Every structure is written in structure tokens, then in C-alpha cells.
Structure 1
Amino acid sequence: MANQKKYFPNSHAFIVANNAYQQVSKLKTPINDATKLAEILENKHNFEQIHLLTDANKVQLEEFITQTMPNAVQQDDKVLFYFAGHGIAVDSDEDKEGEPKGYLVPTDADSNDESTFVAMDLLNEMLHQLPSRHLLLILDCCFSGSFEWSANKSRALRSRVPKKIYKERFDRYIKDPAWQAITSAAQDQLALDVLSKKPVGYRGDDNQDHSPFALSLFAGLDGAADVVPADDKDGIITASELYVYMRDWVEDQSIKQSEKSRQTPKFFPLAKHDKGEFIFFHPTHPLNLDPIPQRNPYKGLQSFNEEDQELFYGRDDVIEDLQKKAEDHFFIVVTGASGTGKSSVIKAGLLPILRDQGFNIFPVIRPGKNPMVSLQEILLEMQILASEEVITQDNLAQIAHKVTEKPTVILIDQYEELITQCKSEAEQTMFIDFIRLLLEDDRAVNVRVVITVRSDFEPQFENLGLEKYWHEARFTVPPFSQDDYREVIEKPAIQEVLFFEPADLVDEIINEVIQAPGGLPLLSFLLSQLYDKCYQKGRKLTQEAYNELGGVIGSLRTSADSIYNNLDDNHRTAMRHLMLRLVSVEGGELASRRVLMPELEYSKEDVNTWINHVVNQLLEARLLVKGRDSLGQIYIEPAHDALIRAWGTLWDWIKQFGEDNITLQRRLYEAVTELDE
């Protein structure tokens, strides 16, 4: 056993298994399952107290629940209760919620006499009288999910396991109350006794010794359920990890018989549950928990990249759908409104999966002002082009063919820049031709071309050369649901051991963000600001700080206005000039614009000093980002289009200056630059 440290005074396993039913069908596996579980818990998981009861009649079962268990458990002990046998759900007029009442079936039960069963209400009542700190209930019986209603907790427990568990989070899991339940089937499902071709609920004599649910439990406790982090083992198995592993295994095995045989384990909290997690230690792998890194777990207005995937939450279903589409589509157009997280779901969601599948991932391409220059630099970097080789229309097909030589992913992010920033029709056409040649190459099966484009710009691409492929390639990123937003807010906090104070602040944030179309970047910016404001005072993200920031809608405006209002008149004028250069207007739509630093150089040194000061202020506030393009030129740009959409002061400047003048200003600069060159 790899981990010997004692975190609880005592660890108890109360295990009940019934095979030899007298008036209902006998079962084959429960006692085998119980005996095996007792052996695993004692020998691999340091459970000192194993209480095993087999073939129990009603008197014995009730005595076990009402006397044996409460007499054995002391303050802060760790308790596991397991039942394998028949279960039944009976409609009850007394149930005000209209849900069936669940019962455990003792060996002497009469199927026609409800009074001969043991009510799950009784089990629930006795469990909650225990003084234990951690308790895990595991029921392997038909209709076991009906215990959820006995527990008076009609909410499912969404998995709260982060993508990585840090040492500080583990400490809280151990310290805080953990009262959780895993059941082998939903309240309206039967549980399989063995894997067979028999009908659901069949409990006859087959050749297997254990139920599917028990097999998944044994494998999970042997270490297979240590699934976080995904690329390694940390030496602990939380109840949430165990459930996810068991659910996937049992559901998959049951569906192999037929869809009608589907068995779906359930997971839910009991009334005394708080922020803890019932913990098993991996029987052979050492404890391997890193300390929390010193970082802001929220990205603000910036998109997530591959290296940020452990902090990327709320898009599991979208990633799964994208993965399926990438299996048989060589071209994927990821579209959606601004603020739905298109770039992040590709970079932090799809790309890591494709990399694991053996694809060679090219650096992200942004078309920008000179898309062919951007492409040239990437192809040189990836050694598709020789050092002196230049892309021309004549060698375009040859270069595309070379790219498809091995599995390759090309991501073109913010494809709308092809029309918002590139003004050369010849360059636009050549860039699109390159994509078309990749898709028409005889080795196209090796390539995945993924582009992201704002849906409001999509109509402008209808007749630009890829219309033959566009419709089939489209993948619309859906808006965030309330549950998605909850994951975005809570999961990074759980992972980094942060707490919202009060807890219902999360609900207030969600209620506000769903009122704002494309509200993800505003939410992300708020959370980033909330962390910066609170983290030095402790690990609580507070209502007071939230109110001071102006909430979801007001936080970005508050931050930008605060910078502006604290400037003198000269710097305010510089900030206005700067922001108007960072906006583009195309087809009546406003978008952010990437600006090279030379464009911000003025003849008067004082003006340059003012501009640089403002740029640094906005960079520090993470409202702007700074980088180098494919030619090594330094640029700045708004961190997200949300800055353009949500900052009222900037809208006032745009109205005063005029959208036509914004376009004219950019064209004048381009003309002067071209003349100088």
C-alpha cells in the first residue's frame, strides 16, 4: 500500500449482500461481490473495520443498520456502506414529490407485502445520525437511484473533480465533510447481475462471478479510476473520479447488449455533504500532488491556448462534437457569434486531442494584413519551404501536396481578418486557393484545415472560392448554458482552492451573464479582475469586490474608464487616438484591429511618450495584448472584440469620429506606408 498516512481515526466498511432469497428470485453475484470488496478495502485501502453481513433477513438487516453501524462509528471516522441484492421502488401516495419510495429487499421478503421490505428512508436516517466526517454509500440493486429521493436531495451531483488536483485542494477534500452516494442504476432502471444477452434485470445462473457494477468498482479501486490528471496519476481516487469511471464502464458494457439494456449509475450528495470528497488512495502509485501554482486561473479577454487546457472548462460537449466531426471531415468551419469562445474551444479543446492522435499541429495562423506572408513564415518554420523558397501561384499546388504528406492540422484563427485587414484581392485569392488545394489533394485525408470565423462576417465569404465545401464544413459553437457558465466559474476555483463568498455569488454572476449576449469574455474579464482584487487577502472571491468592479456587465467598462479618468488631458487625448486606430469597420460591422507599433509613432516626441504610457496601462490591465507577427514586427490589439462592443466611452468616440473616418484613417496610413516603401 503506497500511502500509509492516517487521515481519519478509523475507516469502517459496512457491507451487506443477499443471494438466498426465499420468495423472490435468487441472485448469484452479491456475496461474491461483497467478499471481494471487503478483501480489496482491507488489503489495499487500509480499512481497519470490515463489517460483513450476508443473506440477511429483515430483522438482521434492520439491526445492522440501526445498531451495529451507529455503535461502531466514532467522531470524524470514515465510513463506506455497500449493499448488493434486490431493490425495489414502490409508488407512494405519501410522497409529496411524486417520486417512488425505494426499498432494500431482505432475504425473507414477500414481494406482495411492502411491510417486509426495509425502507431506504430508514437507511438514510441512520446514516445521517453517524458522526463520521466522510461517508460513501454504494448501492448495487435495482432501482437503487430511488435512494436519491430518500436523501431529500433532488439534485444530481455534477462532477466537481478538476482537471488537476493540487495538494491544497486535497487537504480541503480531507478536511471538509464528504457525504456522497453512488448507485448502480437510476430510480427507474434495473441493475444487471451479470453481463449476458438476457433481458434487463435478469439475475440467473450465468458464468460470471460478479455484477458489471461490481467489476467496475473493483477495477476503479485497483487504480483505474485515478483519472485526474488525464496524462498522469496523482495517487488519489476521489468519489467523483470513481463514479465517472464506473458510469462510463457500466453504461458501455450494458449498451453492448442493447440500447434497452442501458444501465446508468448515478451520483449525488447526501444532506450533510459540503466541499469534501470521499478519498481512496491508489494501492500502488505514490501520492503525487503539486502545490498550487501562483497564477490567475482566469484568462480575462485572452483566448485559451493548448497549454491552458487544464483551466479550460464548460465546453466538454462541444469538444466531443468537434472531435467527431474531425474524424471524417478534412475542413471544419467553426462559426459562432463573437464571445462564444470559438478560438478557445479549438486551441484548448480540439488541438490537444488531435495532437494525441498523432497529428502534426502547425502554429496558429492569423491572416492579418498580409495572409500570404503569414503563411510563408509558418511554412518556413515547419520546414515545408526551403529557406530561400517563396510561395507563388505556380508552386502553390506542389506546396499544398507537401503539407499533406503526413497527418497535419492547420488552424486559421479569426478568418474574418482576410477581409477586415487584408486589402489585396490577389493575396486573398491566393490564400483561399491554398486551402482549396489542400482539400483537393489526393492525400487530403491526412489534413485537417480548421478555421474560426465570426458568424456576422460569414455571409461575406459565400462567394470567395470555398463555397463548394463551406456548408458541409460548418460547425456552429452554441451559446453557453447556465450549467456551462457554472463550470467556467466554479471549476477553476475548485482546482485552485478558491471560494466564492457568499456561495450564492456564483448564482448572481450566472444570472447576470445570461442577460448579456456573447457574455463569455465579459464574464472571463470579471473573474480575472475579481481574482486580482481578492487573492492577496485570502482565497475568497467576495461579493464586496464583485460590486466594486461593477459586476459582469460593468467590470470591463469600469476598468477601462478607471484608466481613462486617472489620466491628464494630454494622455486622455492620446488614449482616444489610440483606441480609434484599434477599431476596424467592414461591411457595417465593428471589429478589433491589429496595429503595428510604427503606426503609433508621431513626429512629436511628447505625443509618443503619452501614447506609450497609455499602451502600457492598457497592457497591464489586460485590455490590450502585445505580440510579434510572422515578420517579427511588434503589434498591439484589443484583447477581444468585447472591448469594442462593451465599452460605452469608446462607442461615443466612434460616433463622434465617424465610422467612415475610421476606414479613411486606416487607408491613409496604408497609402503613406506604401508610398514610403
Structure 2
Amino acid sequence: MPISRNQTLGFRKSHAFVIGINEYRGLDANLKTAAGDSREIAKRLKALQGFDNVLLMNDVSQAQVATLLDWIKDPQRSASLSIQEKTFTFGSFSYRSQAHWLKTAGEVADTAGLNSLELVIDEGQADELRETLFLAPDNQLDIQPGDSIVFYYAGHGFPGEIKDGPAGYLAATDATNKLLDNDSLLPMDEVYKALSTLDCKHTLLILDCCFAGKFRFSSLSRGRPKPFLMPMYERRYERFKSSNAWQVLVSAGPEQTANDSAKWAAIRDHSPFATTLMEALEGKADVPLAGNRGKAQGDGIITATELFLYVWDRVEKITGEVKPQHPGLFPMAQHREGEFIFINPKIDSKRFKFAEDPDKNPYKGLAPYETADAPVFFGRERVVQEVVARLRQEDADILFITGPSGSGKSSLAKAGVFPVLKEYEVFLSVRPSELLPANSAPSAPHTDKLESLQGELASGKRCALLIDQYEELFSHPDKEQLQELVMHLITAVQENQQRAIFTMRSDFEWQLKSSPLGEYWEKKRIYRVPPMDLDELRQAITGPAWWAMYDFRDKEETDEGDTGEELINEILEEVANAPGALPLLSFTMKAFYEIAKDKSRKQRLILEDYRHALQGVSGALSQRAGGLYDGLPNEAHRRAMKNILLRMATLDDGGYSRRRIFLSYPDLPGLNELDFPGDQDDRFAEEVLRQMEAAHLVAQGQDNKGHRYVEPVHDALINFWPKCRQWID
């Protein structure tokens, strides 16, 4: 039985227009699966998803498609829609188009004389679903703004350029092969204009054709994170239902061709895209709730994003070895904060399994991300994929992840890499100093912690071991003993064919090379974390907010069309070129989120609050620096902080900016710009510098000549912390 789609989701009616074209005699390029794909999609929309009106049009002409689009665009449209069938003849060969409305037995008074389609889904003897759908020539329907619509097309697609809208063309069965001014093709823009006339709250366009990605409004993708799975809180579900959702799901990128060839058809009855879409509509795209790893049950709700991610993953695996194909999901101009929704037909819609709403700050501030924080870890997708690819190589037993201070190495491993390595059963993490016992150094080279880790590595389960912040070993008083303990761990990793990951600051690479671990220091075992580009920083800004259902707004007044682009760009401009941009960004956003929550901003991050209440990055840094300064134990330490910052300030073009302070020169041993006259002052300076680095007010690095340096993370620390400006002036 069909699900109660309208009652559940709050629509007046739900409609679907499904087109599939196999016959292209005028192009001499017939397809094998498009018509069959459309039939199966139409059956599932009707029988499984509960759409009221489903029109199936196979092998139809441009004029027949135009009849449908003209009816849609006509504000005075009649209540009845019938598409006349037509016969096409090419020499001795002829075929007939099909245009029928799918009806259940309960919707047809008399089934005599009506052709039918059978939907059979066999998932085991006890779970077989079988339903007969009848094909009616006409239908009474009325489409209103409170309805939902699916428009599906499978056939040939061609590239093209149409200004200020979607580019590209669709082809009806009577398309001809002309090079220029091909008026036998249907511009994608015409489909969009027709759907826009209806102005329904929820509209999903699905294109399974070559160059389907040409149907893209690129300007609408800014300010939004890439599609990702979000926990379905009940309030998120209500927003998705009530707000406009205008989305396009395409089978291939703007320059890609879709797979529907004789070779594919010989082993499959449907295209890769249609195959996975059919599975998705049967409920297989209903992914498990976040945190329910290994569970088969989802929440019962299939959003357009879930649908896309399921289809993308399956299609990539199916097509990867021959002709990789990458589906896409894009917003249309009318899209706001909604999501087109399907329902898992296997779940009672009255018993959706909503996620628990944590109501917590999604930004970590200066704390590293842990494995449990994976859902709010954004901006490192590319890097995670590269690291995981390294670890999955056969000889990748040891991998060194290095990068400057503040580049997010620990977070990358724990919240990025570990959750993706699903083939591993056990994830272990230890810092070098944790290998020593709490009381004193033992005489034997074994400790309880070491033996525990060795036992896990030898358990027979697949393990990944993280040795985090390895640089702390080189300044530890028990350095030699720690190195011995680490080498015991490496032996256990290799003997049991496990994986070990080291994270370490890049300015300590030279010390590792000359240590016992140096024998493993080779190119294939080294991954240097690159800086985040603007798109990745944008993801790190917007992703956690979207996860927590907070929106960016340039104005305080509620407006769904306001996506906060000015606010996002202003944050980007302030952090983009700063050393240690990631902790600076996370710290700023955590403080910004707290302001929005304290001011009861109805889950909105507003530009005015960023500028005036937080005072941007400079305000966040000032609060951090002031808190550190006031918390120093005595006047000597406070004087040391003053002296450090004064040496880090320089006059540049009439204004002050930060400068690097060099701590060591390989060619000039003993030279240090933070060397003060007295030994006591040097000790205070070292202690304060460590605290400033721990607070992410300064960051250490190494230039290409091997010179170690430290510098403020942002010019704002010099220019906008009032106490620092007072010292300078």
C-alpha cells in the first residue's frame, strides 16, 4: 500500500512527471535502458512513495513534451491532462510513444481494457511486495503551490550555454542531428521555466542523461556546505518540510556522459544511476542515524541529500573501473532551507526515529577534535581522502603526518581519518609521555600502558594506532627511554600487520630523522598537511553551524533569501592568511556561537553581532590575550609577555603589523631573538611563550632554510588588543 505522503509531510497533493526515451532514429543513437528506467521509477513513486498523480511518457516527441510544458505554464490550465500517443515510422521500422497515468486498483472504477504494470520487489520470501498499477489515458488534477513535484528525465543530453540559467539540452524521440541552431532539442531552461510557473514548495528535478550537470545555478552554491549527512532532529525535519526545497539531482557532471550503452545493457537492465535510484526509493537510502555505526535502521526519512549521497557512492563504485560517473545535487533559484523528502516505505511514518538534539556548541574552540566530534569536523575532506588512501596501501604500516603548529594534525587523525577507516575494528591513541608510569621511570623497558597497547595490537583485530604530538618526546627529560618504548610499539605494529600514525610538528622533522625512528623516514611514509584553501575554510565556518541548525544572516530581520554571504566572506577575510588559521577560526566561531545563543538570536549568526558584540577576530583575540595576561602568576611573567609582543611588532607603511621572531639559525648557533639580558628573564620568557603558544596566540614554524621562528597568529593581536597598543604607544 502507498504511504501517506501528503498527510505525513503536509502537502496538498504530490505529482510526478516521468519521461524516458530509448528511440533516437534521427540521431542514430538509440539507448537501451532509459524507457525501462522511467517505468520502474514511475512505479516506485506511485506504489511505494504515495504520489497522487504519476504521468509516464516514453519515447515521446518534442511536441508531446511541449504539450505537457505548455499545460504546466498555462495559468488557466484545464483540470484534465491527456497526452495523445503517436506512431513514428523510419523506413520499415515503426514504434509508438506511450503517455499514461499510473493508477492503483482503488483509483480505477473499471479496469477492463486498461493495460497494467506489475511492481515486484523481492527481498526474501516473507518480504515480497507485489502491486498492479493500471495505465489510464487521462487524469483529473490540479497543481497548487502547496504541492510537491518530481520531474524525471532519462534520455540523451547535450551541452550548451544559456545565459542566466541552466545550460544544456534534452532530446525527445524525434530529435535530429544538426550542428547549429538545433531547434529539435529541448533547452533545459524550458523545463525550469515551466516548473517555476507552478511555484510548488517542494520541487525535485531528476536528470539521467549526458551533461546533466549543465543544469546548475552555480551562484547558489556559495555559502552552503557540500552535501553531508545531518542528524535528523525533529526541528530540522520541520524546517525541511516547511521551507522551500527546489533541487536538481543529476546522474553526471557538466562535462560527463552517463552510462547507458549496449555493453552496460548486456549485463544490466537499467542504467547505474536508475538502478541506485530505484534502490533508494525502496528505502535503502535511509542511512543509519549518526552514532549508530553498524545498525541497519535509519530514521525513516530520506532527504534529497541522503538520496544523493547514496546514489553518488553506489554509482561511483559501479562505474569506477570503466567510465567513472559522478552524480550531483544542486539548488535552483527558489531553493531556501528545505529539503525534498521521500519516506522509507518499510517504516511507519508515525514512528520516525528522530535524533536526540544535543543543543551544544558545535565549534571546539582551541580544543582538538576527538573521534566523537567527527560529525562536526569540516573542511578537511580532501586531506582525509589522501591520508586514508596512503594508509590503505599494502606497505603503509607507518605514516608520519606533519604540519605547522595549529594545522589540525591531531584533529585530522582522530575526527577525520579514524571514522573513515571503517575496515578497522580498534582505534588506539597515545601521546609519548603517556607511555611512562605515573610515579617514576621503571628499570624495565615495559610499562602497563605499553603492554596494554601491545596486547590490543596482537588481539587479531585490525587496529590503527595514533602516536599523537610526537614532538613532545624531543624535549622530554626521559627522551631516550621514551624512544625505546615507541620502538617496542613499532615492532608490535609490524609483527601484527597493523597501522601506526604519528602526528608531529614539522619544525621537529630534523630531530626525528636523527632518532631511532629515522630509518622509517621516507617519502611514502610522510604526509605534510597542506594549508586550508578558501573553500575548505568556508566549510569549516559553515558546516558546524548547519549541523547545529544555525543560519548565517547579513541582516537581523528574518529572510530565507539571506544566506549570510557578506558575514561569511568577512570571517574568511580575517582568518584566511593567518598562520594557524584553523584554531583561530574555531576559537572565533565558538565565541560567536555563544553570543548568538546568549542573545536568543533564534539560531541565527548575524553580521551585526559579529562586528559589534564579538568585534570579529580582533575581539576574540583580545579576550583571549587579556585572559592569559591577567592569569599570569606575577609581574615578572606579565613583563615577559609584554617584552615578547613588543619584539613581535614592527612599523610597516605607517602602521603596525606582526613580525617573525627567529629562535634559532643553523648557521649561527646560539642566536635567539628572544634572548634577554638575564637568565631569569629568559626563563620567564620561555614559560610565557609556551603558554601563548598553547593559547594559540602565537605559532611556531620553520622557514625553507631551517630557521625556527615564532609569530603572532594575527595582526589583530598587535593592533587591536588595547594593552598591546598601549605598550607600543
TM bucket (normalised to shorter chain) is: 0.7 to 0.9
For 1:624-658, what per-residue CA distance to the aligned partner results, in whole angstroms no more than 9, with x for missing partners? 99xxxxxxxxxx9945465894455999999xxxx
Q: 2:200 aligned with 1:132, yes or no? A: yes
Alignment match, 1:675: none
Between the aligned partners of 2:520 and 2:723, the Cα distance in structure 1 is 40
Partner residue of 2:419 out of 346, 352, 355: 352
Structure 2: which 5+ runs fail to align? 78-141, 555-563, 646-661, 666-670, 673-689, 700-710, 725-729
Contact 2:150–2:203 under 8 Å retained in 1: yes
Alignment match, 2:509: 458
CA apart distance, 1:394 = 8.3
* Secondary structure at 1:457 match in 2: helix
Partner residue of 2:352 out of 281, 287, 294: 287
Between the aligned partners of 2:302 and 2:535, the Cα distance in structure 1 is 25
Partner residue of 2:42 out of 16, 22, 38: 38
Alignment match, 2:391: 326
Contact 1:15–1:51 under 8 Å retained in 2: yes
What does 1:392-471 correspond to in 2, within 5 Å? Answer: 392-393=444-445, 404-406=457-459, 407-420=462-475, 422-423=476-477, 427-440=478-491, 443-471=494-522
More helix by share: 1
Contact 1:522–1:555 under 8 Å retained in 2: no
Alignment match, 1:500: 552
Between the aligned partners of 2:636 and 2:230, the Cα distance in structure 1 is 44
* Secondary structure at 1:466 match in 2: helix
User: TM-score if structure 2 supplies the norm length?
Assistant: 0.70
* Secondary structure at 1:362 match in 2: strand
Alignment match, 1:488: 540
Instruction: Tell me: CA distance 1:437–1:300, structure 2 relative to 1, closer, same or farther (3 Å).
Output: same
Between the aligned partners of 2:454 and 2:186, the Cα distance in structure 1 is 71
For 1:130-167, what per-residue CA distance to the aligned partner results, in whole angstroms no more than 9, with x for missing partners? 22011110111223223337x98697986333442322
Between the aligned partners of 2:204 and 2:624, the Cα distance in structure 1 is 49
* Secondary structure at 1:40 match in 2: helix
CA apart distance, 1:331 = 2.0
Instruction: Tell me: CA distance 1:269–1:651, structure 2 relative to 1, closer, same or farther (3 Å).
Output: closer
Contact 1:143–1:189 under 8 Å retained in 2: yes
Instruction: Tell me: CA distance 1:187–1:157, structure 2 relative to 1, closer, same or farther (3 Å).
Output: farther
Alignment match, 2:301: 236
What does 1:579-658 correspond to in 2, within 5 Å? Answer: 638-640=694-696, 642=698, 645-646=712-713
Contact 2:231–2:355 under 8 Å retained in 1: no
Alignment match, 1:263: 325
Q: 2:77 aligned with 1:9, yes or no? A: no
Contact 2:223–2:538 under 8 Å retained in 1: no
Contact 1:557–1:648 under 8 Å retained in 2: no
Q: Which shifted more, 76-85 or 466-475?
A: 466-475
Between the aligned partners of 1:157 and 1:229, the Cα distance in structure 2 is 22
CA apart distance, 1:188 = 3.0
Instruction: Tell me: CA distance 1:222–1:417, structure 2 relative to 1, closer, same or farther (3 Å).
Output: same
Q: Which shifted more, 271-280 or 1-10?
A: 1-10
* Secondary structure at 1:500 match in 2: strand
After superposing on structure 2, the runs of 4+ consecutive aligned residues of structure 1 that deviate more than 6 Å are 151-157, 577-580, 649-654
CA apart distance, 1:80 = 0.5
Q: 2:274 aligned with 1:274, yes or no? A: no
Give the partner amino acid of 1:414.
Q
* Secondary structure at 2:516 match in 1: coil
Q: Which shifted more, 109-118 or 487-496?
A: 109-118
Contact 2:17–2:151 under 8 Å retained in 1: yes
Between the aligned partners of 2:507 and 2:614, the Cα distance in structure 1 is 29
Instruction: Tell me: CA distance 1:79–1:86, structure 2 relative to 1, closer, same or farther (3 Å).
Output: same
Between the aligned partners of 1:650 and 1:120, the Cα distance in structure 2 is 52
Contact 2:229–2:305 under 8 Å retained in 1: no
Give the partner amino acid of 2:540.
V
Partner residue of 1:301 out of 359, 366, 379: 366
Between the aligned partners of 1:319 and 1:240, the Cα distance in structure 2 is 21
Please tell me the root mean square deviation across aligned C-alpha atoms, in Å.
4.1
Alignment match, 2:169: 103
Alignment match, 2:379: 314
Alignment match, 1:74: 144
For 1:282-329, what per-residue CA distance to the aligned partner results, in whole angstroms no more than 9, with x for missing partners? 222352112421211111111111221111111122222222222342
Partner residue of 2:315 out of 240, 245, 250: 250
CA apart distance, 1:69 = 6.9
CA apart distance, 1:516 = 0.9
Contact 2:465–2:500 under 8 Å retained in 1: yes
CA apart distance, 1:562 = 5.0
User: TM-score if structure 1 supplies the norm length?
Assistant: 0.75
* Secondary structure at 2:41 match in 1: helix
Give the partner amino acid of 1:446.
Q
Give the partner amino acid of 2:38.
A
* Number of residues of Structure 1 aligned to a counterpart in Structure 2: 576
* Secondary structure at 1:347 match in 2: helix
Q: Which shifted more, 68-77 or 156-165?
A: 156-165
Q: Which shifted more, 286-295 or 337-346?
A: 286-295
Give the partner amino acid of 2:148.
K
Contact 1:339–1:642 under 8 Å retained in 2: no
Between the aligned partners of 1:449 and 1:208, the Cα distance in structure 2 is 42
Instruction: Tell me: CA distance 1:129–1:442, structure 2 relative to 1, closer, same or farther (3 Å).
Output: closer
Partner residue of 1:47 out of 47, 51, 66: 51
Give the partner amino acid of 1:460.
Q
